[in-house]
A and B are shown apart, each in its own frame.
Chain A
Protein backbone atom coordinates (compact mmCIF):
# COMPACT_ATOMS: atom_id res chain seq x y z
CA UNK A 1 0.00 0.00 0.00
CA UNK A 2 3.00 2.34 -0.07
CA UNK A 3 2.98 2.36 -3.85
CA UNK A 4 1.65 5.89 -3.98
CA UNK A 5 4.34 7.50 -1.87
CA UNK A 6 6.12 10.24 -3.80
CA UNK A 7 9.59 9.19 -4.91
CA UNK A 8 12.15 9.22 -2.10
CA UNK A 9 15.79 9.06 -3.10
CA UNK A 10 18.98 9.17 -0.99
CA UNK A 11 19.53 12.82 -1.99
CA UNK A 12 16.22 13.62 -0.34
CA UNK A 13 17.33 12.21 3.00
CA UNK A 14 19.33 14.28 5.49
CA UNK A 15 20.18 12.62 8.79
CA UNK A 16 21.20 14.16 12.11
CA UNK A 17 21.08 17.75 10.87
CA UNK A 18 21.34 20.73 13.18
CA UNK A 19 18.93 23.63 12.76
CA UNK A 20 18.87 26.78 14.88
CA UNK A 21 15.07 27.08 14.68
CA UNK A 22 11.97 25.71 12.93
CA UNK A 23 12.57 27.95 9.94
CA UNK A 24 16.03 26.50 9.39
CA UNK A 25 14.61 23.00 9.83
CA UNK A 26 11.94 23.57 7.17
CA UNK A 27 14.56 25.14 4.90
CA UNK A 28 16.65 21.96 5.17
CA UNK A 29 13.65 19.94 3.97
CA UNK A 30 13.09 22.47 1.19
CA UNK A 31 16.72 22.29 0.11
CA UNK A 32 16.47 18.49 -0.03
CA UNK A 33 13.41 18.77 -2.29
CA UNK A 34 15.39 21.12 -4.53
CA UNK A 35 18.34 18.69 -4.49
CA UNK A 36 16.20 15.83 -5.82
CA UNK A 37 14.78 18.05 -8.54
CA UNK A 38 11.25 18.13 -7.15
CA UNK A 39 10.99 21.86 -6.46
CA UNK A 40 12.42 25.31 -7.04
CA UNK A 41 13.73 27.28 -4.04
CA UNK A 42 10.57 29.42 -4.02
CA UNK A 43 8.65 26.34 -2.82
CA UNK A 44 10.81 26.33 0.31
CA UNK A 45 9.79 29.92 1.01
CA UNK A 46 6.16 28.96 0.49
CA UNK A 47 6.46 26.14 3.05
CA UNK A 48 7.90 28.59 5.58
CA UNK A 49 5.13 31.10 4.81
CA UNK A 50 2.43 28.49 5.52
CA UNK A 51 3.76 28.16 9.06
CA UNK A 52 4.23 31.90 9.51
CA UNK A 53 0.61 32.39 8.47
CA UNK A 54 -1.09 29.55 10.29
CA UNK A 55 1.25 28.54 13.10
CA UNK A 56 2.91 25.23 13.90
CA UNK A 57 -0.05 23.08 12.84
CA UNK A 58 2.32 21.19 10.55
CA UNK A 59 3.57 19.34 13.63
CA UNK A 60 0.87 16.74 13.14
CA UNK A 61 2.20 14.09 15.52
CA UNK A 62 4.67 13.99 18.41
CA UNK A 63 8.15 14.82 17.02
CA UNK A 64 6.96 14.99 13.38
CA UNK A 65 6.42 17.99 11.10
CA UNK A 66 4.85 17.68 7.65
CA UNK A 67 6.10 20.67 5.69
CA UNK A 68 4.47 21.40 2.37
CA UNK A 69 2.85 24.14 0.33
CA UNK A 70 0.35 24.22 -2.49
CA UNK A 71 1.02 22.70 -5.90
CA UNK A 72 2.11 25.32 -8.41
CA UNK A 73 4.86 26.39 -10.77
CA UNK A 74 7.49 25.88 -8.06
CA UNK A 75 6.82 22.14 -8.04
CA UNK A 76 8.66 20.39 -10.88
CA UNK A 77 7.81 16.82 -9.90
CA UNK A 78 6.34 14.85 -7.00
CA UNK A 79 8.92 14.42 -4.30
CA UNK A 80 9.51 13.60 -0.67
CA UNK A 81 12.31 14.71 1.62
CA UNK A 82 13.12 13.48 5.10
CA UNK A 83 15.27 15.46 7.50
CA UNK A 84 16.11 14.20 10.96
CA UNK A 85 17.19 16.79 13.52
CA UNK A 86 19.70 16.31 16.28
CA UNK A 87 19.05 18.00 18.60
CA UNK A 88 15.28 18.20 18.15
CA UNK A 89 13.87 21.64 17.35
CA UNK A 90 10.90 23.45 18.92
CA UNK A 91 8.21 24.55 16.45
CA UNK A 92 5.98 26.06 19.12
CA UNK A 93 3.37 23.30 19.02
CA UNK A 94 1.44 22.88 22.29
CA UNK A 95 1.59 19.06 22.33
CA UNK A 96 3.96 17.64 19.76
CA UNK A 97 7.20 19.56 20.28
CA UNK A 98 10.13 19.16 19.91
CA UNK A 99 10.45 17.98 16.32
CA UNK A 100 12.96 15.30 15.36
CA UNK A 101 11.68 14.47 11.88
CA UNK A 102 10.66 16.92 9.16
CA UNK A 103 8.94 15.55 6.07
CA UNK A 104 9.04 17.80 3.03
CA UNK A 105 6.27 17.02 0.57
CA UNK A 106 5.86 18.36 -2.95
CA UNK A 107 3.04 17.21 -5.20
CA UNK A 108 2.63 18.61 -8.71
CA UNK A 109 -1.01 17.66 -9.17
CA UNK A 110 -3.51 18.41 -6.39
CA UNK A 111 -5.52 15.36 -7.43
CA UNK A 112 -2.61 13.12 -6.44
CA UNK A 113 -2.15 14.83 -3.09
CA UNK A 114 -4.62 12.60 -1.29
CA UNK A 115 -2.97 9.43 -2.60
CA UNK A 116 0.37 10.74 -1.32
CA UNK A 117 -0.91 11.57 2.15
CA UNK A 118 -2.79 8.26 2.33
CA UNK A 119 0.51 6.52 1.65
CA UNK A 120 2.15 8.61 4.38
CA UNK A 121 -0.64 7.62 6.76
CA UNK A 122 0.06 3.97 5.96
CA UNK A 123 3.65 4.45 7.10
CA UNK A 124 3.04 6.65 10.14
CA UNK A 125 -0.08 5.00 11.54
CA UNK A 126 2.54 2.57 12.78
CA UNK A 127 3.41 4.41 15.98
CA UNK A 128 7.06 3.27 15.93
CA UNK A 129 7.86 4.85 12.55
CA UNK A 130 8.72 8.33 13.86
CA UNK A 131 11.11 7.09 16.55
CA UNK A 132 12.64 4.66 14.06
CA UNK A 133 13.25 7.47 11.57
CA UNK A 134 14.68 9.76 14.25
CA UNK A 135 17.12 7.00 15.24
CA UNK A 136 18.06 5.99 11.69
CA UNK A 137 21.74 6.30 10.88
CA UNK A 138 21.69 5.41 7.17
CA UNK A 139 19.59 6.30 4.15
CA UNK A 140 18.96 2.58 3.61
CA UNK A 141 17.33 2.38 7.02
CA UNK A 142 15.11 5.33 6.17
CA UNK A 143 14.10 3.81 2.84
CA UNK A 144 13.21 0.57 4.59
CA UNK A 145 11.08 2.35 7.21
CA UNK A 146 9.29 4.28 4.48
CA UNK A 147 8.59 1.04 2.64
CA UNK A 148 10.78 1.97 -0.30
CA UNK A 149 12.72 -1.24 0.04
CA UNK A 150 11.32 -4.53 1.14
Chain B
Protein backbone atom coordinates (compact mmCIF):
# COMPACT_ATOMS: atom_id res chain seq x y z
CA UNK B 1 0.00 0.00 0.00
CA UNK B 2 1.11 3.51 -0.73
CA UNK B 3 0.39 6.66 1.27
CA UNK B 4 1.44 10.12 0.10
CA UNK B 5 1.90 13.17 2.34
CA UNK B 6 1.66 16.56 0.65
CA UNK B 7 2.91 20.04 1.52
CA UNK B 8 4.33 23.08 -0.26
CA UNK B 9 7.91 21.86 -0.49
CA UNK B 10 7.55 18.12 0.06
CA UNK B 11 10.11 18.45 2.82
CA UNK B 12 8.93 20.07 6.03
CA UNK B 13 5.39 19.48 7.17
CA UNK B 14 4.91 16.59 4.76
CA UNK B 15 8.10 15.11 6.23
CA UNK B 16 6.66 15.34 9.72
CA UNK B 17 3.45 13.70 8.50
CA UNK B 18 5.49 10.93 6.84
CA UNK B 19 7.51 10.25 9.99
CA UNK B 20 4.46 10.19 12.25
CA UNK B 21 2.33 8.18 9.80
CA UNK B 22 5.09 5.56 9.65
CA UNK B 23 5.16 5.41 13.44
CA UNK B 24 1.39 4.97 13.60
CA UNK B 25 1.32 2.35 10.81
CA UNK B 26 4.04 0.37 12.55
CA UNK B 27 1.95 0.32 15.73
CA UNK B 28 -1.12 -0.72 13.76
CA UNK B 29 1.01 -3.39 12.07
CA UNK B 30 0.03 -2.08 8.65
CA UNK B 31 2.61 -2.48 5.93
CA UNK B 32 2.71 0.66 3.78
CA UNK B 33 5.14 2.86 1.92
CA UNK B 34 4.81 6.52 2.89
CA UNK B 35 6.11 9.12 0.44
CA UNK B 36 6.45 12.86 1.15
CA UNK B 37 5.93 15.05 -1.89
CA UNK B 38 5.13 18.58 -2.98
CA UNK B 39 2.10 19.57 -5.02
CA UNK B 40 4.05 19.69 -8.28
CA UNK B 41 5.22 16.10 -8.04
CA UNK B 42 1.85 14.81 -6.83
CA UNK B 43 0.77 13.54 -10.26
CA UNK B 44 3.86 11.30 -10.40
CA UNK B 45 3.46 9.85 -6.93
CA UNK B 46 -0.31 9.81 -6.44
CA UNK B 47 -1.18 7.30 -9.15
CA UNK B 48 -1.12 4.24 -6.94
CA UNK B 49 -1.69 5.95 -3.62
CA UNK B 50 -4.54 4.74 -1.47
CA UNK B 51 -4.43 7.68 0.94
CA UNK B 52 -3.18 11.27 0.69
CA UNK B 53 -2.44 12.94 4.02
CA UNK B 54 -2.31 16.74 4.00
CA UNK B 55 -3.66 19.93 5.56
CA UNK B 56 -6.90 21.62 4.55
CA UNK B 57 -5.08 24.28 2.45
CA UNK B 58 -4.04 21.70 -0.15
CA UNK B 59 -7.29 19.83 -0.64
CA UNK B 60 -8.51 22.04 -3.45
CA UNK B 61 -5.15 22.03 -5.26
CA UNK B 62 -4.93 18.24 -5.02
CA UNK B 63 -8.19 18.09 -6.91
CA UNK B 64 -9.63 14.91 -8.32
CA UNK B 65 -7.91 11.74 -7.27
CA UNK B 66 -8.78 8.12 -6.64
CA UNK B 67 -6.98 8.31 -3.31
CA UNK B 68 -8.73 9.08 -0.05
CA UNK B 69 -7.71 12.64 0.86
CA UNK B 70 -7.38 12.87 4.64
CA UNK B 71 -6.94 16.25 6.35
CA UNK B 72 -4.76 16.27 9.45
CA UNK B 73 -5.13 19.23 11.82
CA UNK B 74 -2.43 18.46 14.38
CA UNK B 75 0.59 16.84 12.74
CA UNK B 76 2.07 15.86 16.09
CA UNK B 77 -1.05 14.21 17.46
CA UNK B 78 -0.51 10.52 16.77
CA UNK B 79 -3.97 9.76 18.22
CA UNK B 80 -5.59 11.90 15.49
CA UNK B 81 -3.41 10.24 12.84
CA UNK B 82 -4.22 6.78 14.17
CA UNK B 83 -7.96 7.42 14.15
CA UNK B 84 -8.04 8.99 10.68
CA UNK B 85 -5.73 6.39 9.13
CA UNK B 86 -7.77 3.57 10.60
CA UNK B 87 -10.95 5.09 9.21
CA UNK B 88 -9.41 5.61 5.76
CA UNK B 89 -7.87 2.15 5.60
CA UNK B 90 -10.65 0.27 7.36
Binding site for B on A (CB under 8 A): 50, 53-58, 60-62, 64, 66, 68-71, 94-96, 105, 107, 110, 113-114, 116-118, 120-121, 124-125, 127
Contact indicator A121/B74 (Cβ below 8 Å) = no
Since A54-B57, A57-B54, A121-B16 are in contact, a sample of 12 more A-B pairs with Cβ atoms closer than 8 Å, ordered by chain A residue number, is A57-B13, A57-B56, A57-B57, A60-B74, A60-B76, A61-B74, A61-B76, A71-B11, A114-B19, A114-B36, A117-B12, A120-B16
Contact pick for A62, options B8, B16, B18, B74, CB 8 Å: B74
B19: chain A residues at CB < 8 Å are 114, 117-118, 121
Contact indicator B15/A114 (Cβ below 8 Å) = yes
Jot down 27 A-B pairs with beta carbons below 8 A, ordered by A.
Answer: A50-B8, A50-B9, A53-B8, A54-B8, A54-B58, A57-B54, A57-B55, A57-B58, A58-B13, A60-B16, A60-B55, A60-B76, A61-B76, A61-B77, A66-B16, A68-B11, A68-B12, A70-B9, A95-B73, A96-B74, A114-B11, A114-B18, A116-B15, A117-B12, A118-B15, A120-B16, A125-B78
The 3 closest A-B pairs by CB, nearest first: A55-B57, A117-B15, A60-B75
**B20 touches A (CB below 8 Å):** yes
* Interface residue count on the B side (C-beta < 8 Å): 26
Binding site for A on B (CB under 8 A): 7-9, 11-13, 15-16, 18-20, 23, 36, 39, 54-58, 61, 73-78
Q: Give the A-B pair count, Cβ closer than 8 A.
A: 79
Min Cβ gap A96→B in Å is 7
Contact indicator B75/A61 (Cβ below 8 Å) = yes
A61: chain B residues at CB < 8 Å are 74-77
A127 to B56, CA, bound (A): 22
